[in-house]
Amino acid sequence: MSARLRRVRGDDDGFTLVEFLVAMVLMVALMTVSISVMRTVTSSVTVSQQQQGLNEEARQAINRMARDIRQANQIVTAVNPDGAAFNSANLVAVRFQSDFDGDGCINGVGGASCLTYNASNPEDVTYCYDPSLKQLYVIDNNAAGVTPITSASTSCSGGQPLLAGNVETFKVSYRSNAYRDDLDPTDGITTWTELDEAAYPDGNANGKLDVELSNVDSVVIDMTMKLGGHKQPYRTQVDLRNQSQ
């Protein structure tokens, strides 16, 4: 009888201290792994959302610049263009004019048929990049108090941010369909420096992009966005459809 009681009592015994400690260690290890996995998943989702937002913002900015420049009558000023003298640490800007409302005038100036200047749809525009601020701006050159960009400008004064920031690099390349000047090198692309080297009447051989602008009918925009350690390059080529000759 006593042996039977001992067997029954043994069947009802609980966990030993060693078994309890082993169970606790396993539970803590499992919880640590689970938390680590959750943090990794959450971080990945956050990074993915940030990159998606960055891509969308960059896409909208690229599309806007391409749309406006495509309609340009002429490019007026190019600051720090592509070429041997390009410096990524300096201001980059492209100023152009476009008759968006089709009245034959620019921002209400040019004749009796001119419509009134419309600040919501400016026709003398500059896209300007300040590398010290990693910021891209759009400037209405006819807005009150704004001094239009010149080749000597060192700031995007009067501009409104086109992007929330995160613009790591920005460069504008200027090209032409004057294939007769495609000589240095002959590669099917006529750059503004080739126009300049060709001299009169296409250029003036001064190493600057000035008179060559009248023959520039295409621009390439290269932009790199950066968020955290992730960099994403963007590029678009825009042909001027309404260029004045």
- Answer whether residue 187 is part of any domain: yes
- Answer whether residue 113 is part of any domain: no
Q: What is the pLDDT of residue 7?
A: 52
Q: What is the pLDDT of residue 45?
A: 64
- Answer whether residue 67 is part of any domain: yes
- Answer whether residue 20 is part of any domain: no
Domains: count for the chain: 1
Question: pLDDT tens per residue, the chain (245 residues)?
Answer: 455 545 544 555 667 878 878 888 888 888 888 888 777 776 666 667 667 777 888 888 999 999 999 999 999 999 999 999 999 999 999 999 999 988 989 998 888 889 999 998 899 999 999 999 999 999 999 999 999 999 889 999 999 998 867 899 999 999 999 999 999 899 999 999 999 999 888 999 999 999 999 999 999 999 999 887 778 899 999 999 887 65
- What is the torsional sign of CA 24, 28, 33, 35? positive
Provide the residue range defining the domain that includes 172: 49-96+123-239
- Answer whether residue 91 is part of any domain: yes
- Answer whether residue 105 is part of any domain: no
Backbone angles phi, psi at 172, to 5 degrees: -120, 125
Q: Are 115 and 105 in contact (CB under 8 A)?
A: yes
- Answer whether residue 155 is part of any domain: yes
- Answer whether residue 89 is part of any domain: yes
